[in-house]
Structure 1
């Protein structure tokens, strides 16, 4: 069983040893805003949602003879990072899970100025900012001290689920890295960062790699979920790393693009890349869930930009009650079958590397009286792809090549978008057969730890086949070169303050 816990919902799936999907279920939960700049999840609501999905997939699988002959053996979890659950030593949930973009404790990041970004990066290779776990830990200690004294551990979500099922508390390297308090090279909590940051070591769990056997599911929980006896729990990890594992991105130079609400490209390294180079690119470094490998992430808006476009340009369809999926299908049909003259700059929100725009602003340009909704939609997909082309170019200039791209997530179901990506990135784009690769990655971790698979390569070979491949079309090379030049020129304009003055 693989469990993928996201920021707004979770997905659970059961796979056979041969990679066949037996049963799957999704559940949702809501972000609450208790005040301006405050974002949190009801920890109990999320746990109940995960349990509901797990219970449902097991019940559904019970009607499949293949499952009856090969019942559940192990489970692992992938989850979004940064947000942590405060728990007692008895497993009691003590409070909400504070989101990464919550403003609480943001002032504390300045404490690391004593060390400096360059020296800090040589311990914890991240670009300093308030979106990590650290500021929230400081806020708990300094603004809610009575509450903090009751807390035994703060656990990331995949580690928290492991704790709930087994009673064993540990934090995997990838999640630890997202706290800003982890020494990546020594694979331990950094005494220096804990001291300078003002965080107590006691509230942080011991550290382990992903893919470690944590124990059996407790009998009372196993019975409530409908599990067979003796189901093992395997340590999981950061959802983006699990997604990469499930998509087969396990060797240096490979990458996976997860296209969901946000689009994240995960690039894999065989060894720790040069920290000076990565700092210069303003990119972080993290342990992969694939043993001995490392990753970096490049983010931008993905499906959220499509949602904005639908709200802005398809009100006629929304008022008719047309579903979101059907609206996207109609926009695809309306889009021209080749590039035109319109360019979209996809910076509706602040962006990160390689283009840092603290005040996100996007725009369409090249519009004429003949420009219709379909042309704008195609330009939107092209602009999203050009953002990642710029990132790939910066990496290539510094010897970090990306040979091909594997696509996952809801956005990967769009043939139009993937073909545009291949044309613009000038690299093959492969859609994996299980497009919800987060659950696949967790299932692979479970299978490896229990000896079901002899090697990681064997497991990936079974699970990570491609559903379709898209290759660059030479007839569009010149026109996209021209549009990309327009994109870069437009980016120079919105990167300055002149457009607002």
Structure 2
């Protein structure tokens, strides 16, 4: 049995998976995002810690009696957790989609140059990365910065809570913009330029490394009385890709959750020129000598939640029932609206924290059902922008496997298939992050020789969605309009900031 912890923007999942890839038990604990009214996006590390331990205790209580062989941790990238010498978080975590750090990015780029930064880190320059948030904290919360023992991401923070070891895997370290993906170590050149000591960061290790065993006091709190090793946590996009079966080049993992991520495994690094031109990034994979792309946008499920909160905020009906009703009212024809889903800025394709969402085409006849459908369409258009960028970088995309909560919506997947103009393979497993951790764990424990072998046995195919010919034709025309909208709105959004 494997226990997978998956920390996302909106909640924590604790899932038990057996050696055959079957889900045996699952617990979900929601998280609150703080600061939205001030255009901030924060998570509480205290809440993340407490809800993680509650979820683990609950899922262990409801699971079969068989022992857990390994715990895996995956989380959102970039979010910074300042931790004091007592091991406690010093403030809320500023997550990647929070635009704070954009001015600090300019300072880093000025000191080192965009080309050098990309060559060292494998990243397209963006405000989202952890280093920018650290520099923001130092500039605006100097009393907090003086007390920092370690700046962590959520994978190494929860790993530290469980084991007492401050270690971070190469994939998550690369999301900080302070890691040299060529040398697989913290970059002295970058850290010296911004005067951040690498002693303030967790020790980087390869993916698949065991951090240690669950501490005695945590075992007592969880009610377990045997040793459980904990794998060093990884970027959630990677575990989702593994859990979707995207373990070799050409297969693209598309995870549709609160945010949307697109990941594909690479046999070698992407060159810096392609990274900068296409605004995608490259990070070390969890197996030696492999890499993966990371591209995303910030508001897939988040856009749907915005719609529900603002159009159904006073309803006592559960959200699942509201969504089922909305889905049932949709016809086959595309909407007459165009939604640009930049509810939390624009990422891959533009990297503009000042970009804002827009709904184009509203008339007196427009109802909320049509706006809902157009939001689903807008997120799919944004996904196509990202896939176009990946292909333009010379990365093959032969098959797209969709996972995450959004993949369970047949309407959304049908829209997405028609907008992308290709078949979509929807994952059979609801928790690809936990399943991906179990697949990696099975390889680490020697149950399988490779990720490909393990995934072949543990990952099961789901449904296949075919594009609809007439919708493809209409969406192809709309996509050309969609590609124009960012440029037309950019100056207006700048003035509205």
Q: TM-score, normalised by structure 1?
A: 0.89
- Do the aligned residues in 2 keep the contact of 1:124 with 1:182 (CA within 8 Å)? yes
Q: Does 1:97 align with 2:100?
A: no
Where does the alignment leave 5 or more consecutive residues of structure 2 unmatched? none
For residue 264 of structure 2, what is the aligned residue in structure 1?
267
Change (3 A) 1:52 1:185: same
Q: Which has the larger radius of gyration?
A: 1
In the alignment, the residues of structure 1 paired with residue 352 and residue 138 of structure 2 have an alpha-carbon distance, to the nearest angstrom, of: 32
How much has 1:470 moved relative to structure 2? Answer: 0.5
In the alignment, the residues of structure 2 paired with residue 488 and residue 136 of structure 1 have an alpha-carbon distance, to the nearest angstrom, of: 30
Give the secondary-structure state (helix, strand or coil) at the position aligned to 1:160.
helix
1:133-164 alpha-carbon deviations (Å, 9 max, x no partner): 21333355555556545433222221122222
For residue 156 of structure 2, what is the aligned residue in structure 1?
159
- Do the aligned residues in 2 keep the contact of 1:194 with 1:201 (CA within 8 Å)? yes
- Do the aligned residues in 1 keep the contact of 2:256 with 2:301 (CA within 8 Å)? yes
For residue 182 of structure 2, what is the aligned residue in structure 1?
185
For residue 47 of structure 1, what is the aligned residue in structure 2?
49
Q: Does 1:477 align with 2:489?
A: no
Q: Does 1:84 align with 2:86?
A: no
Give RMSD over aligned pairs. 2.8
For residue 301 of structure 1, what is the aligned residue in structure 2?
299
In the alignment, the residues of structure 2 paired with residue 34 and residue 311 of structure 1 have an alpha-carbon distance, to the nearest angstrom, of: 13
Where does the alignment leave 5 or more consecutive residues of structure 1 unmatched? 62-66
- Do the aligned residues in 2 keep the contact of 1:236 with 1:445 (CA within 8 Å)? no
In the alignment, the residues of structure 2 paired with residue 419 and residue 475 of structure 1 have an alpha-carbon distance, to the nearest angstrom, of: 12
How much has 1:182 moved relative to structure 2? Answer: 0.6
How much has 1:237 moved relative to structure 2? Answer: 0.7
Give the secondary-structure state (helix, strand or coil) at the position aligned to 1:466.
coil
For residue 207 of structure 2, what is the aligned residue in structure 1?
210
In the alignment, the residues of structure 2 paired with residue 381 and residue 190 of structure 1 have an alpha-carbon distance, to the nearest angstrom, of: 40
For residue 460 of structure 1, what is the aligned residue in structure 2?
455
In the alignment, the residues of structure 2 paired with residue 99 and residue 18 of structure 1 have an alpha-carbon distance, to the nearest angstrom, of: 35
How much has 1:372 moved relative to structure 2? Answer: 4.4
In the alignment, the residues of structure 2 paired with residue 98 and residue 341 of structure 1 have an alpha-carbon distance, to the nearest angstrom, of: 37
Give the paired residue count.
492
Q: Please say which of residues 410-419 and 261-270 is displaced more in the overlay.
A: 261-270
In the alignment, the residues of structure 1 paired with residue 275 and residue 292 of structure 2 have an alpha-carbon distance, to the nearest angstrom, of: 12
1:344-394 alpha-carbon deviations (Å, 9 max, x no partner): 333344212214554334444455666544444333322221222233233
Change (3 A) 1:134 1:57: same
Q: TM-score, normalised by structure 2?
A: 0.90
In the alignment, the residues of structure 1 paired with residue 468 and residue 178 of structure 2 have an alpha-carbon distance, to the nearest angstrom, of: 46
Give the secondary-structure state (helix, strand or coil) at the position aligned to 2:398.
coil
In the alignment, the residues of structure 1 paired with residue 41 and residue 367 of structure 2 have an alpha-carbon distance, to the nearest angstrom, of: 38
- Do the aligned residues in 2 keep the contact of 1:72 with 1:227 (CA within 8 Å)? no
- The correspondence of residues 314-463 of structure 1 with structure 2, limited to 5 A, is 314-315=311-312, 319-339=314-334, 341-366=336-361, 371-463=366-458
- Do the aligned residues in 2 keep the contact of 1:246 with 1:438 (CA within 8 Å)? yes
Q: Does 1:19 align with 2:28?
A: no
